[in-house]
Structure 1
Amino acid sequence: MLERKINKHNNFYYMTAALVVLLLSASLVRTVADGMLESILEGIIGVTFLVCVVSLGVDKSWKRFMQTLIVVWVAAILVKRFVVVPHLDLLMLVLMFAFFWGTFSSISKQILFSGSVNTNKVVGSIALFLLLGLQWALIYLLVLAFSPNAFTGIEQIPWGQNFSQMAYFSFVTLTTLGYGDISPNTPFAQVVVYMEAIAGVFYMAIVVASLVSAGLAQKETEQEH
């Protein structure tokens, strides 16, 4: 049913909506009991993965790669329910990062400096921005896992309980707002943070250049005909 509704003319609408729901849900589920929090968040992330895979159906190579990641992700969740495996949470963070990176790469090929500009592609550029922020949030969670004192304003607890806060910090950094309630506390964390700020500035420049050049090329083509 979902595959019938999603096509190349509206796929980025669904993907962007799924990412926005993920971010909103991550903040809302913090109000539930800690024991349920990670389970609910993992379920929401799983649905987001599914929507992303279906939305990228036109890119077969990335679709197979991400389907494999989803299978491993589900297997990791099941193992986590019955067996205590050291560092399994780290594996799940790496799997999430790999999935979002694969999605980001696939969307980039479809909308940056390619084809004509339409509303779907503009919405796709929003999805790219959200994916960029989510990837850095996962990087921060990994840094925090290895270095508990890497950030001030946030403590080392299970990643599901920190996901929303790290996503908040990531997007604040990506947009160079820098409120200061959470800040890097070690040299390595500081490098990671300012690299994201640089990435955010360059992303805006690249997207604007891409959409403008594609729009001009489209206009010239229409004039020729």
Structure 2
Amino acid sequence: MINKVITKNNNFYYMTAALVVLLLSASLVKSVADGMLESLLDGVITATFLVCVVSLGIDKSWKRFMQGLIVVWLIAAMLKRFTPIPNIDLFMLLLMFAFFWGTFSSIARQILFSGSVDGNKIVGSIALFLLLGLMWALVYLLILALSPHAFSGVEHSVWGQNFSQMAYFSFVTLTTLGYGDISPNTPFAQVAVYMEAIAGVFYMAIVVASLVSSGLAHKET
């Protein structure tokens, strides 16, 4: 049923919407009772994973790998709920990063420097940008988990509580706004921050060049 609704002509619309819902949900977790925090965020993340898999189902090699990641993610989430396992949070963050990286790579192969430019492809470039910011947010959460004082303006807590703050900081850095309310304290954190700023500048240049060249190639054809 879902495969009939999500097609290669509109798949990026659904994926971008799922990523936006994930960001909005993460911003609301602090207003939710502690007992519901993990269930809410884990549920939204799982739903986002499923939408991404269905949306990119045409990439068969990618799909099998990501389906495996979803299964492992669900097992890790259940183990975290019922069995205290050391460093399970770090493992879940790494799984999320791997999933978003795979999604990013698959989208990039489909929209950058290939085919004609349409609304779906433009929305796909927005999804790429959101995934880039989310991946760097996960990097910051990993750094924060290993070094609680790596960032000023962020309280050390479980990653679900800090997800929204680090996503905010990530997109502020990616767009080079630099508000300064959150800042890196350690050398490694500082390197990660300016590397993201560089990635954000190059991303805009690459996407614009890709869309322009694809549009010109299609017009000539």
> What residue is the counterpart of 2:56 in the other structure?
56
- Aligned pairs for 1:169-180 within 5 A: 169-180=169-180
Structure 1 residues not aligned, in runs of 5+: none
Q: Following the alignment from structure 1 to structure 2, what is the Cα–Cα distance between the partners of residues 81 and 145?
A: 19
> What residue is the counterpart of 2:11 in the other structure?
11
Question: Paired residues, what number?
Answer: 221
* Identity of matched residues, %: 80
Tell me, what secondary structure is at the counterpart of 1:167?
helix
Instruction: Kindly provide the CA deviation profile for residues 55-85 of structure 1, in whole angstroms up to 9, marking residues without a partner as x.
Output: 0000000100000000000000111121100
> What residue is the counterpart of 2:190 in the other structure?
190
Deviation, 1:38, is: 1.9
- After superposition, the CA RMSD in angstroms is 0.6
Tell me, what secondary structure is at the counterpart of 1:140?
helix
> What residue is the counterpart of 1:85 in the other structure?
85
Tell me, what secondary structure is at the counterpart of 2:117?
coil
Tell me, what secondary structure is at the counterpart of 1:84?
coil
- Aligned pairs for 1:1-225 within 5 A: 1-221=1-221
Q: Following the alignment from structure 2 to structure 1, what is the Cα–Cα distance between the partners of residues 62 and 177?
A: 33
Deviation, 1:37, is: 1.1
Q: Following the alignment from structure 2 to structure 1, what is the Cα–Cα distance between the partners of residues 166 and 54?
A: 27
Tell me, what secondary structure is at the counterpart of 2:44?
helix
Q: Following the alignment from structure 2 to structure 1, what is the Cα–Cα distance between the partners of residues 30 and 81?
A: 20
Deviation, 1:200, is: 0.2
Instruction: Kindly provide the CA deviation profile for residues 103-157 of structure 1, in whole angstroms up to 9, marking residues without a partner as x.
Output: 0000000000011111100000000000000000000000001111100000210
Letter in 1 for 2:55: S
Structure 2 residues not aligned, in runs of 5+: none
- Structure 1 consecutive aligned stretches of length 4 or more whose deviation exceeds 2 Å: none
Deviation, 1:3, is: 1.3
Q: Following the alignment from structure 2 to structure 1, what is the Cα–Cα distance between the partners of residues 17 and 33?
A: 26
Deviation, 1:34, is: 2.0
Letter in 1 for 2:117: V
Deviation, 1:39, is: 1.6
Q: Following the alignment from structure 2 to structure 1, what is the Cα–Cα distance between the partners of residues 215 and 38?
A: 43
Letter in 2 for 1:51: V
Q: Following the alignment from structure 1 to structure 2, what is the Cα–Cα distance between the partners of residues 156 and 102?
A: 29
Q: Following the alignment from structure 1 to structure 2, what is the Cα–Cα distance between the partners of residues 176 and 44?
A: 28
Task: Decide whether the 8 Å contact of 1:38 with 1:161 is kept in 2.
Answer: no
Q: Following the alignment from structure 2 to structure 1, what is the Cα–Cα distance between the partners of residues 208 and 60?
A: 28
Q: Following the alignment from structure 2 to structure 1, what is the Cα–Cα distance between the partners of residues 55 and 219?
A: 28
Q: Following the alignment from structure 2 to structure 1, what is the Cα–Cα distance between the partners of residues 154 and 110?
A: 37
